[in-house]
């Protein structure tokens, strides 16, 4: 039972992590990103659509299909994030409003496009793209370790990709000049500009990266939880990722622990319900767990957290 909690918890936590890291990129550069929900949805939509299109060559639940889905989910998320970037960086829109607008646009646009494309290309009236659940694999030797072996048991292919991407994102964020400029843009954009770096370009790039990462997380949820792309992808996971990054104080490592906490709380809840042989209506109560925990955690951590200093401020070169 502990093993189930561990591997199911990880399967939920890792997509959440990559979405939250997307949020960190954007917010540390100074752009509030409430659009994560919409970005993960649009990314999942794009990925799922390409998987279905390539379905004849590469079956949806085979590895090749999954990698195609992940790649295009990142592309779709990045493209959609450009709207948020344009609105916030170039059109000087209110970043909170822009984020919510992107979410509403994403919900209505993907609902429209899924129905339209299904009717047009496959001649069926459906609001979903069927993917199937990705095959999980178990590493032979490592999985035999007691308890901790669960980490190497029933692993989804996307978890490996996410770990690689997260590692890369961490290096970019902490070790490259781009990462330094990005963090400085969120704290003191004028100093960055004085050093000869274009703040607007850095911020736009950060938002686009956050879209790509959110898209990767989105398609992973589509491949594990729902087994298809449908409007139910908008379950509030983007907002959960935001809560995780606030809980993690806008730092990648702390956020990693936050998502692990969410993931294990969720899988432990399901296991508990199973163990107590409760009927499936009780699933609704368990589903509230991550959200209740988020609220409680925020009560304790919101006071002393240190948001990037220039977060949400519209950057105006002329202003000092």
Partner 1 sequence: MPRLRLKVLGNENWQWISIPLLSVFFAILTGSAVVLLMGKSPVDTYLGILQGAGFVPKANYAGGTGMLTDFMSFLDAMAPMLFAALGVTVAFKAGLFNIGISGQMLAGGFLATVLIGYSDLPWMLAKPLVLVIAGTAGALAGGFIGYLKYRFNINEVVSSIMTNYILAYLISFIINTAYVNPVSRQSEYINPSAALTIKGVSVASVKVNLSIGIILALLAAILLHYLINKTRLGFEIKAVGANRKGAQYAGINIGRTMVTAMMISGALAGLAGATFYLGYFTSIQPGVLSGLGFNAIATSLLGNISPLGVILSSILITILDKGATFMSSKVGVVKEISGVITSLILLFSAMGAYFRYLIAKKQPEYESGGEEEAHK
By CB under 8 A, residue 152 contacts partner 1: no
Instruction: Name the residue nearer to partner 1 (CB basis): 35 or 51.
Output: 35
By CB under 8 A, residue 111 contacts partner 1: yes
Choices 50-58, 140-148, 217-225, 284-292 (CB under 8 A): range interacting with partner 1 = 284-292
Provide the β-strand partners of residue 129.
229
Compute the distance between CA of residue 77 and CA of residue 218 in angstroms, rounded to an integer.
9
Provide the β-strand partners of residue 155.
137
By CB under 8 A, residue 226 contacts partner 1: no
Q: What is the CA radius of gyration of the chain?
A: 20
Neighbours of 71 (CB within 10 A): 17
By CB under 8 A, residue 91 contacts partner 1: yes
Eight-state DSSP code of residue 60: T
Compute the distance between CA of residue 258 and CA of residue 244 in angstroms, rounded to an integer.
6
Residue 227, φ and ψ in degrees, nearest 5: 65, 10
By CB under 8 A, residue 273 contacts partner 1: no
246 closest CA partner among 36, 12, 38:
36
Instruction: Convert residues 289-318 into a mask of x (bound to partner 1 by CB under 8 A) and - (unbound).
Output: --xx-xx--xx--xx---------------
212 closest CA partner among 11, 97, 44:
44
By CB under 8 A, residue 254 contacts partner 1: no
Choices 107-115, 147-155, 160-168, 209-217 (CB under 8 A): range interacting with partner 1 = 107-115
Contact positions toward partner 1, by CB under 8 A? 34, 83, 87, 91-94, 96-98, 100-101, 104-105, 107-109, 111-112, 115-116, 119, 235-236, 239, 242-243, 246, 281-282, 284-285, 287-288, 291-292, 294-295, 298-299, 302-303
């Amino acid at each position: 039972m502990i093993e189930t909690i561990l591997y199911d918890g990880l399967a939920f936590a890792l997509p959440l992590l990559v979405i939250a890291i997307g949020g960190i990129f954007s917010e540390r550069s100074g752009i509030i990103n409430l659009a994560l929900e919409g970005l993960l949805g649009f990314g999942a939509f794009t990925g799922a659509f390409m998987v279905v299109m390539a379905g004849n060559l590469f079956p949806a639940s085979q590895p090749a299909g999954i990698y195609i889905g992940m790649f295009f989910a990142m592309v779709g998320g990045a493209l959609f994030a450009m709207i948020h970037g344009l609105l916030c960086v170039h059109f000087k829109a209110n970043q909170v409003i822009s984020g919510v607008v992107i979410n509403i646009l994403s919900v209505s646009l993907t609902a429209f496009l899924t129905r339209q494309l299904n009717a047009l290309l496959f001649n069926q009236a459906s609001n979903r793209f069927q993917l199937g659940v990705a095959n999980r694999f178990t590493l032979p030797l490592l999985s035999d370790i007691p308890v901790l072996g669960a980490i190497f048991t029933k692993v989804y292919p996307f978890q490996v990709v996410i770990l690689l991407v997260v590692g890369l994102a961490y290096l970019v964020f902490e070790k490259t000049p781009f990462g330094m400029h990005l963090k400085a843009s969120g704290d003191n954009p004028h100093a960055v500009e004085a050093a000869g770096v274009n703040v607007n370009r850095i911020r736009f790039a950060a938002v686009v990266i956050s879209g790509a990462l959110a898209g990767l997380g989105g398609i992973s949820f589509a491949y594990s939880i729902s087994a298809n792309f449908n409007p139910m992808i908008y379950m509030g996971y983007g907002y959960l990722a935001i809560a995780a990054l606030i809980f993690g104080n806008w730092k990648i490592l702390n956020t990693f622990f936050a998502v692990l906490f969410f993931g294990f709380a969720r899988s432990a809840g399901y296991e508990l319900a199973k163990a107590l042989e409760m009927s499936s209506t009780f699933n609704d109560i368990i589903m509230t767990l991550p959200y209740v925990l988020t609220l409680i955690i925020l009560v304790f951590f919101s006071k002393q957290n240190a948001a990037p200093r220039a977060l949400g401020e519209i950057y105006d070169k002329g202003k000092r």
